[in-house]
Amino acid sequence: MTIKACIKHYAKELKDVTHIPNKEVEILILHLLQQNVIWLHLNSHEEFNQENELAKLVKKRATHFPLEYLIEKASFYGENFIVKQNVLIPRPETELLVENAFNILKEIQNPKLVEVGVGSGIISVMLAKLLPTINIVAVDINEDALALAEQNAINHDVKDRIKFIKSDLLSKVQGEFDMCISNPPYIADDYKLPTNVKFEPSNALFGGSIGDELLKELIIQVDQRKIPYLLCEMGYDQKKPLEEYLKAFSCESVDFYQDYEKFDRGFTIKFKI
Ligand SMILES: C[S@@+](CC[C@H](N)C(=O)[O-])C[C@H]1O[C@@H](n2cnc3c(N)ncnc32)[C@H](O)[C@@H]1O
């Protein structure tokens, strides 16, 4: 079959898992051939010699297995990152968290940042790319995540400014920081996940029986460590309980933000130090 015919044929198998089946088959073909979209458009009438491999990938994708895990790649903030199973796939709304952090950190000389729950490394790596004088400590409880984040830091040439540590929240972190940033697990343990998300690691998603337990513990630890700023992503229904919870803390300001779909999605706290 030609490449064009393969796309048409295999897209049918993906019509129930994605609203862009043709595009996804194209992406899988490009992954197998290690080529780009321009090449594909110029060569779509060529014979495709890796149909067996493609059929296997399409079959797996038809089970809702995420495309990003199949091609081991995801785009974030316009950059390519490696992704691997057992580490969360980057979500576009996390770009807003990076943006908020950047706007504060760019005003601080030689800023020091700690990230809790580094995952694939997207937040720390992007901030290191955007801020040439920043130094970062990035922690996770998942060793696969730490190894992947380190690989992404090497690929983006920022490894010398990020120290990776295995730590439960800030328990193993030493030193002083201007900011703590985190996209922690914040989903309630009994929440029924969509099929595709079930392939992602549960310790990256579930934050406790209510969901905001880790966020609340992090607020305590950042306040105790006298870190001036805490920026976090959170669940769409956690603004009210967190506003209530924060009344017990001495904050100069608390600003919540919404994601691209207008759901409450995170906050910036400035503690009174
Ligand atoms: C929602 S993912 C975020 C990953 C990445 N920062 C991103 O935005 O794509 C949460 C991460 O927190 C890590 N994590 C979960 N509990 C933790 C804890 N108690 N201490 C440190 N990291 C934790 C998970 O392993 C996971 O990598």
My answer on whether 130 and 227 are in the same domain is yes
**Residue 26 within a domain:** yes
Residue 70 lies inside a defined structural domain of this protein? no
CA distance linking residue 228 with residue 76, whole number of Å: 27
Name the residue at shortest CA distance from atom 6 of ligand 1.
118
Taking the centre of ligand 1 as the mean of its atom positions, its distance from the CA of residue 80, in whole angstroms, is: 20
Same domain, 215 and 97: yes
Q: In terms of Cα–Cα distance, which of 196, 233, 197, 194 is closest to 212?
A: 233
Q: Classify residue 250: in a domain, yes or no.
A: yes
Q: Which ligand 1 atom minimizes the distance to the CA of 145?
A: 27
- 32, 147: one domain: no
In a 3-state reduction of DSSP, which class is residue 206?
strand
Q: Is the Cβ–Cβ distance between 121 and 82 less than 8 Å?
A: no
Statement to judge: residues 30 and 91 lie in one domain: no
Give the range of the structural domain holding residue 264, as residue numbers without chain letter.
86-271
Please report whether residue 76 resides in a domain: no
Residues touching ligand 1 (Cβ under 6 Å) are 88, 90, 94, 116-120, 122-123, 139-142, 145, 168-169, 183-185, 203-204, 214
Residue 195 lies in a domain: yes
Neighbour count for residue 137 (Cβ, 10 Å): 23
Q: So what's the pLDDT on residue 196? A: 87
- Which protein residue has the closest C-alpha to ligand 1 atom 12? 117
The protein residue whose alpha carbon is closest to atom 13 in ligand 1 is 117
Ligand 1 test: best mutation among 115, 140, 162, most atoms within 8 Å of CB?
A: 140
Closest C-alpha among 85, 67, 101, 250 to residue 178: 101
- What three-state secondary structure class fits 81? strand
Q: Check whether residue 54 and residue 148 sit in a common domain.
A: no
Residue 74's SS3 state is strand
pLDDT of residue 273: 84
Closest CA to 232 of 183, 177, 271: 183
Q: Distance from the CA of 147 to the center of ligand 1, in angstroms?
A: 13
Nearest ligand 1 atom to the CA of 182 is 6
Structural domains counted in the chain: 2
Position 77 in a domain: no
Residues 15 and 134 in one domain: no
Q: What is the pLDDT of residue 29?
A: 97
168 C-alpha to center of ligand 1: Å? 10
pLDDT score of 244? 98
**121 lies in the same domain as 213:** yes
CA of 184 to the centre of ligand 1 (A): 5
For residue 104, being part of any structural domain is answered with yes
Same domain, yes or no: 116 and 151: yes
Q: Rounded to an integer, what is the distance from CA 233 to the centroid of its chain?
A: 11
Domain stops at, among 16, 48, 63? 63
Four-CA torsion 135, 140, 143, 146, nearest 10 degrees: -30
CATH number of domain containing 265: 3.40.50.150
Mean pLDDT by 10 residues, the chain (273 residues): 96 97 98 95 95 98 97 97 98 98 98 98 98 98 98 98 98 98 97 92 95 98 98 98 98 98 98 93
Q: Do 114 and 41 belong to one domain?
A: no
Same domain, 160 and 48: no
Tell how far the Cα of 233 is from the centroid of ligand 1, in angstroms: 11
Distance from Cα 179 to the centre of ligand 1, integer Å: 17
Please tell me the pTM assigned to this model. 0.96
From 32, 63, 94, the end of a domain falls on 63
93, 167, 183, best to mutate for ligand 1 pocket (most atoms within 8 Å of CB): 183
Residues 45 and 113 occupy one common structural domain: no
Same domain, 191 and 222: yes
Residue 167 belongs to a domain:
yes
